[in-house]
Amino acid sequence: MKRILISTILITLTFSCFAQSNFYKLSVGVGAGITQSFADVRKHDFGLAGYGTLDYLFTPYMSLGLEFQKGEINGGNVKTDPYNRQFINSYQAIAINGRISLGQIIDFNYNSFSNHFRGLYLGTGIGVIQNKMKGINRYSFTDPDVYYPGENASKDIFFPLNLGINFFFPDRDGFYRYALNINCQSNVTLGEGLDGYDDSSVRHRSGNPDIYAFYSVGVKYNFGKMGLYKKTFRRF
**pLDDT number for residue 144:** 85
Supply the CATH classification number for the domain 25-228.
2.40.160.20
pLDDT tens-digit profile, the chain (236 residues): 555 444 444 444 444 444 577 899 999 999 999 999 999 898 999 999 999 999 999 999 999 999 999 999 999 999 999 899 999 999 999 999 999 999 898 876 655 666 778 899 999 999 999 999 999 999 999 888 899 999 999 999 999 999 999 999 988 888 889 999 999 999 999 988 999 998 755 455 556 789 999 999 999 999 999 988 887 665 54
Pairwise CA distance, residues 71 & 33, whole Å: 9
- Going from N- to C-terminal start, the domains of the chain cover 25-228
How open is the CA angle 52-70-67, to the nearest 5 degrees?
35
Q: What is the dihedral of CA 37, 142, 146, 79, to 10 degrees?
A: 10
Residue burial 136-156, b: 16+ Cβ < 10 Å; e: rest: bbbebeeeeeeebebeeebeb
The amino acid at 24: Y
